[in-house]
Structure 1
Amino acid sequence: MRIISGDFGGRRLKPVPGRATRPTTDKVKESIFNIIGPYFSGGQCLDLFAGSGALGIEAVSRGMDHAVLIDRQYAAIQVIKENVATTKAPERFKIIKTNAERALSQLQTPFDLVLLDPPYAQQKVVANLQFMQQAGLLNPAAQIMCETSSETVLPDTLTGFTFKGRHLYGLTAVTIYQKAGL
């Protein structure tokens, strides 16, 4: 795994050891950012199921000002800290060890980009999106990237969001939404 492009491009990232975390492949990561970016002019990013932190780190590398990286596993948090250290810009990241529901109830800063890559067996993507909408955690026109199993089909119609597309990459599906209205 590596950071593909931007300020930190080319730097190697460590995966989380074991099988509890499924890393996003570089091919899928590059495709995701070609769809939602590929570069940003600042903003706040939330990587809610961060794993190794690769998606949030990529977003900051490509121009996001700051990323909040959240994961509930101790091993993942240790790897995220090591991967953030490779950027030599740790002040651009906040790492939180907690579960998604607790994190969402405690966060207060609205985000411009949300990266949701939950464990495939524990997906609550729609509930997470609805909570973020109601809690004011999304800036106008915020983009949301949801990585799921290709067997999971997220709704095309979701109150408060505009469906931007679904893309399949083997066993992985990437669904993009944007917060509706300004």
Structure 2
Amino acid sequence: MRIVSGKFGGRPLKAVPGDATRPTTDKVKEAIFNMIGPYFDGGRSLDLYAGSGGLSIEGVSRGIDEAVLVDRQFAAIKTIKSNVEVTKEPERFQVIKKPAQSVIDQLKGTQPFDVFYFDPPYAKQTIEADLGKLVANDLVAKNAIVMAETDQHADLPDQIGAFTMVKQRDYGITVITIYEYEG
């Protein structure tokens, strides 16, 4: 695993030890950023199921100003912090060890996010509920982009509240779905 492109491009990233997380491959990561960017002019991102932190780090490498990375596993948090150090700009990352749903409440009242990465455990996918809670807590910026990485059984709808599906691609068992917020 590595940072694919941007300011930190080519730097290596570690995977979370064990099989509790499933890192996004470099090929799929490149495809994701070609769909949502590929580069950004600032903004904030939120990853509620960060794993190794690779998606958020890639986003900052490509121009996101600040990333908030959330995971509830100690091994994931330790890996994220190690991977953030590779950037030599740790001040651009906030790492939180808590369950995703409690962090959504914790972030209420902060500046809204422009980009969301949703790569939850396939069997515990709560993307629709999470998006509803983020909107209710005023954490979604106008025209925000949502990237959802699921398996083929997730069957996400074309519309989730004010989020409209704009792209969807299959990569083997992985499905990448992109939504834009029209709220």
TM-score, with structure 2 as normaliser: 0.97
Deviation at 1:11, TM superposition (A): 0.2
1:147 corresponds to = 149
Q: Secondary structure at the match of 1:27?
A: helix
Q: Secondary structure at the match of 1:163?
A: strand
Deviates more, 1:30-39 or 1:131-140: 131-140
Superposition CA RMSD, Å: 0.7
1:125 corresponds to = 127
Q: Distance in 1 between matches of 2:18 and 2:39?
A: 32
Q: Secondary structure at the match of 1:21?
A: coil
Q: Distance in 1 between matches of 2:6 and 2:121?
A: 27
2:114 corresponds to = 112
1:97-108 correspondence to structure 2 within 5 Å: 97-107=97-107, 108=110
1:30-179 correspondence to structure 2 within 5 Å: 30-107=30-107, 108-179=110-181
Count of residues in Structure 1 that have an aligned counterpart in Structure 2 = 181
Q: Distance in 2 between matches of 1:133 and 1:153?
A: 21
Q: Is the 8 A contact 1:133 1:160 kept in 2?
A: no
Deviation at 1:159, TM superposition (A): 1.6
Q: Which runs of 5+ in 2 are unaligned?
A: none
Q: Which runs of 5+ in 1 are unaligned?
A: none
Q: Distance in 2 between matches of 1:162 and 1:148?
A: 17
Deviation at 1:165, TM superposition (A): 1.8
- What is the identity percentage for the equivalent residue pairs of Structure 1 and Structure 2? 56
Q: Distance in 2 between matches of 1:125 and 1:71?
A: 15
Deviation at 1:51, TM superposition (A): 0.2
Q: Is the 8 A contact 2:149 2:175 kept in 1?
A: yes
Deviation at 1:109, TM superposition (A): 2.5
Q: Distance in 2 between matches of 1:157 and 1:51?
A: 27
4+ residue segments displaced more than 3 Å: none
